[in-house]
Amino acid sequence: MDLTRYMIRFWRAIAICLLFILINSCGESSNDPRETNPATDDTVNNPTNNQTPGAVEDTGEAKTTQNIPVADEIDPRSFVPSGNWLTGTGVKEIDLSSGKIISNDDGRDHDFPACAHPIPAPGLLPAEGIVIDGSLSDWSAKSIVGIDKPEDSDGLAHLDLRSFSWAANDQSYHIAIELSSEWLIENEDPAYLNVFFNSFSLPTDGSSVPVASFSYGFAIIANSLYLLEDEQFVPLTKGTEATQFDYDLEVSGNFIELRINKKDLSTLNGQPFAVDIFTSNAVKQVDRIGPHIVGLVDDYACLVQTPDSNGQLSSYKMLVMRRSPGVDQSIAELSYRAAINALPYAVHLSKSPINDWDTNNVISIDNMNTAGLYIPAIGHFIVDQPNN
């Protein structure tokens, strides 16, 4: 692969990020908390940056594959961004309405730097040892599949999501949610913690795109679990009988734990699915984390620093790198790095901090239509084949 084709990936990734900013600024969330597909408008993504302190620059001719970064033991909730992004990037101050995105040519040919702050692929730990008791002390930081910055929920602290953890075993899926404030058990205004499952299929040739479909919608209201049926939430009867639902739910302060038996999610069997967590009230969707994807190959996650208006690296996002089994990891790494390095440019050029989404997915697949890119609420789907 020559340098020109390699750089196309980079600018393509910037275009994705800028499109996400446009979608986020123009889209409107549903006002109905019982909406069966509430996560259709805000799709913002996250990247890392080629000026991150500690990043190693690879120089030389662009390659068709890349070395895989070694994941560190970092708790994504407590990461502290630092440094200055503008130094050495060669970015021009331009008007995006001109239709051009330009960076200065500094005379170097180089590969995109690897993720400076990689962490192990999240959510792969088994659920053995986890007790549904309202305490998250038995949940490892490696189980955190989604993070969300505080104070982005219109002052509704009890609906302000902070982290989303996931674990599984042969029988059940386990979910843990951390909020900024105590979940309100007794409250005149309805509060919903929603857990939606959406299955999706991947294209088998180059004529289509991934297709997602709603599978299950649950809501935790006070300390009870409800299922979405015919656009209404109905309470579930706990138990293992045929007419009952096998689950455990515990609420303690600002922590919520939920276990759902896989047999009660039977339509998900054998296909990838996404798990979307969001809070809402009677008026609107308030906050969101995710989605977490199950059923693909998970490589690693990257904590990507993003600049403020002064070029200081003051914030960060978590990108989770995933691929279909038909894509080799060293090939997918090209697209991973393009997305990682694109977002700081997009944030800087658009002057948008992209506050609504702090976790998203970069998904490398081996078949898709000729555009090569697809941006549903699940994440960035990028087609990667050895001859691309």
Whether 146 and 283 share a structural domain? yes
Whether 194 and 244 share a structural domain? yes
Residue 37 pLDDT level (bands cut at 50, 70, 90): very low
Give me the pLDDT at residue 57, please. 33
Most confident option among 59-63, 137-141, 216-220, 228-232: 216-220
Whether 158 and 192 share a structural domain? yes
Among 273, 294, 315, which residue terminates a domain?
Answer: 294
Whether 172 and 248 share a structural domain? yes
Record the tokens describing residue 2, joined without a space: 């020559």
Question: Tens digit of pLDDT for each residue in 154-189?
Answer: 778 889 999 999 999 999 999 999 999 999 887 667
Give me the pLDDT at residue 284, please. 87
Whether 221 and 317 share a structural domain? no
Give me the pLDDT at residue 325, please. 92
- Whether 132 maps to a domain, the answer reads no
Q: Which of 18-22, 269-273, 289-293, 367-371 is predicted least confidently?
A: 18-22
Evaluate if residue 61 carries a pLDDT over 80: no
Give me the pLDDT at residue 53, please. 28
- Whether 217 maps to a domain, the answer reads yes
Mean pLDDT, the chain, as a whole number? Answer: 78
Give me the pLDDT at residue 354, please. 65
Give me the pLDDT at residue 166, please. 97
Beta strands in 82-160 (DSSP E): 118-120, 144-147
Give me the pLDDT at residue 64, please. 52
Residue 92 backbone zone (phi > 0: left; psi -120 to 50: alpha; other: beta):
beta
How buried is 230 (Cβ within 10 angstroms: 0-12 exposed, 13-18 middle, 19+ buried)? Answer: exposed
Give me the pLDDT at residue 233, please. 92
Residue 101 pLDDT level (bands cut at 50, 70, 90): very low
Confidence (pTM): 0.80
CA distance 171 to 46: 33
- Whether 222 maps to a domain, the answer reads yes
Task: Map residue 348 onto helix, strand or coil.
Answer: helix
Give me the pLDDT at residue 174, please. 97
Evaluate if residue 216 carries a pLDDT over 60: yes
CA distance 186 to 152: 23
Record the tokens describing residue 314, joined without a space: 């003051």
Residue 12 pLDDT level (bands cut at 50, 70, 90): low
- Whether 335 maps to a domain, the answer reads yes
Evaluate if residue 191 carries a pLDDT over 70: yes
Evaluate if residue 88 carries a pLDDT over 70: no
- Whether 131 maps to a domain, the answer reads no
End-to-end CA distance of the chain: 8
Among 248, 275, 294, which residue terminates a domain?
Answer: 294
CA distance 133 to 114: 40
DSSP summary character for residue 31:
S
- Whether 125 maps to a domain, the answer reads no
Amino acid at 204: T
Give me the pLDDT at residue 74, please. 86
Record the tokens describing residue 72, joined without a space: 């560190």
Residue 370 pLDDT level (bands cut at 50, 70, 90): low
Whether 147 and 288 share a structural domain? yes
Evaluate if residue 90 carries a pLDDT over 80: no
Question: Tens digit of pLDDT for each residue in 117-163?
Answer: 999 999 998 999 999 999 999 999 999 999 998 878 777 888 999 99
**Mean per-residue pLDDT, 50-61:** 31
Question: For the chain, what is the domain count?
Answer: 2
Supply the angle between the helices 329-350 and 3-26 in degrees, to the nearest 10.
50
Whether 261 and 322 share a structural domain? no
> What is the domain-level CATH number for residue 175?
2.60.40
- Whether 322 maps to a domain, the answer reads yes
Among 267, 294, 321, which residue terminates a domain?
Answer: 294
Higher-scoring residue by pLDDT: 84, 295: 295
CA distance 324 to 158: 37
Evaluate if residue 32 carries a pLDDT over 50: no
Record the tokens describing residue 77, joined without a space: 């909730």
Whether 76 and 100 share a structural domain? yes
Whether 170 and 246 share a structural domain? yes
Whether 229 and 356 share a structural domain? no
Residue 89 pLDDT level (bands cut at 50, 70, 90): low
Whether 91 and 168 share a structural domain? no
Instruction: Please report, for residues 191, 193, 200, 255, the alpha-carbon distance to residue 183 in angstroms, rounded to integers and kept in the order given.
Output: 9, 9, 31, 8
Whether 351 and 277 share a structural domain? no
Evaluate if residue 56 carries a pLDDT over 90: no
Give me the pLDDT at residue 38, please. 33
Evaluate if residue 70 carries a pLDDT over 90: no
Amino acid at 201: S
Work out the angle at residue 380's Cα, subtended by the Cα atoms of residues 374 and 384, and round it to the nearest 5 degrees. Answer: 75
Which residue range(s) make up the domain with 256? Answer: 141-294
Evaluate if residue 366 carries a pLDDT over 80: yes
Contact assessment for residue 280 and residue 38, using Cβ atoms and an 8 Å cutoff:
yes
C-alpha closest to that of 21 among 355, 311, 276: 355
Give me the pLDDT at residue 63, please. 45
Evaluate if residue 379 carries a pLDDT over 80: yes
Alpha helices in the chain (DSSP H): 3-26, 329-350
- Whether 126 maps to a domain, the answer reads no
Instruction: Please report, for residues 83, 160, 259, 351, 354, the alpha-carbon distance to residue 104 in angstroms, rounded to integers and kept in the order given.
Output: 21, 41, 52, 19, 25
